[in-house]
Each structure stands twice: as structure tokens, then as C-alpha cells.
Amino acid sequence: MNETPAAAGRPGLGALFIVFLTAGGVSFGGGVLAYLRDYAVKGYGWLDDDDFLDALEVSETLPGLNSVNMAVIIGDRLRGIAGAAVAVIGLMLPGTIVMMTLGALWLRQSHNPGVNAFLVGVAAAAVGLLLTVTLQLGHKQFERPLDLMLIAATFIAVSVLKISLLWVLLIIGPIAVWFYRPRGGVAAAERMVHLRERLHSHRAHWRH
């Protein structure tokens, strides 16, 4: 499974479906992003960490569930519209079946202390999985003081001050863009070269 992106190439629709079906089937409690990264980046090498982070950043700013947004973005990038449809179906199918089954039984067991304890444990495990992905993908951002300040400001605004996420994005987002805007000199040139390389890479994926 440890293929590089170059060696892995584009996956077939069947392989894409199986990966998202597996991620949707084992990610109890919302840790699907951790499994998607493990499969798509570390396992099959379909994406690198930058590609996965780009998809995550876009999915975080769109309405709807992050996991479904990620399925659409990754599936579309790898296999176009058909890939997006297959990825979404694969991701949602296990949860749909399980929820339809458990929903019929929930009213009978909703007051069972054992069931409630199980759900609390699953939620804790999901938080751990999401924290792992955050540290793996965002370790570079934790090394820069400006990034740390933006992260801290976002955390305080959402978790402590209980400000709506929409307002946080509308206020802190433009501030972050302003701080990281291209400036004159070598640094700006390097950023533009990197941006052009990323755009060419994305266009190549879209054409295929």
C-alpha cells in the first residue's frame, strides 16, 4: 500500500468506492478525516499532505458536513464527477445503514447507562483522531508565531467567546489573508512560483 503519488496514479472507481466505504464504516464518532488521510495520503499515495490540506481548507469553508465535502473534493480531483459521486455514496452508505438500523432500536435503549457510556467513549476517541490529524497536517503552522496567534484567536473566538463561526471566518479570514499577502522581493517571487506549480498540478489532474 505504500505507493508514492506518482506510482499510484489515478485509482479506479471501484478502488475509490472501497476506500470511502471503509472510511465511512470504521470512523465511528466522526473520525472520518483521520481515516481518509490515512488511506488517501499514507496508504495509497493518491494525494500528498498539501493536497489533502487544500481540500480540508475548502471543505471547512463550505456548508454541509466536512466529511461529505471532502469526499466530493477528493473524488472529483481523482476521477471527476463520477469519482465524486462514488466517494460520497461509499462514505455515506455504512452510516446510513447503521443509523436506520439503530434508529429503530434507539427508543428502547436511550436510557440505558451502558449505551450512553459507550457513546461518550466513542466521542472521546473521535476527538483523539481529529487531534492526531490536526497535529500531522498542521505541525508547520505551529512553528510560526503568526500562525499560532491566528489559531489562538480563532480558538478563543469560537470556543470561549462563543462567536458564530461565520463571523469568525469573515473577520479573522481577511486578516490572515492580509498578513500573508504577496510582498515585494524574493519571498513574493517564491510564493508566486509555488502557486504556479500548484495551479499547474491541479490543472493536470482536472484534464485527466
Q: Are residues 147 and 121 in the same domain?
A: no
Domain count, the chain: 2
| Cβ neighbour number for residue 136 with a 10 Å cutoff | 16
| Domain C-terminal end among 139, 154, 175 | 139
Its domain, for residue 173, covers 140-208
Q: Are residues 109 and 30 in the same domain?
A: yes
Q: Are residues 125 and 180 in the same domain?
A: no
Q: What pTM was estimated for this model as a whole?
A: 0.59
Alpha helices, DSSP H only, in the chain?
5-8, 13-26, 32-37, 49-61, 66-109, 113-138, 145-155, 165-179, 186-207
Q: Are residues 112 and 205 in the same domain?
A: no
Q: Are residues 24 and 69 in the same domain?
A: yes
Q: Are residues 72 and 101 in the same domain?
A: yes
- Model confidence pLDDT, tens digit, residues 69-106: 999 999 999 999 999 999 999 999 988 888 888 777 76
Average pLDDT, whole number, for the chain? 78
Q: Are residues 96 and 45 in the same domain?
A: yes
- Please report which confidence band the pLDDT of residue 190 belongs to, taking 50, 70 and 90 as the band edges: low
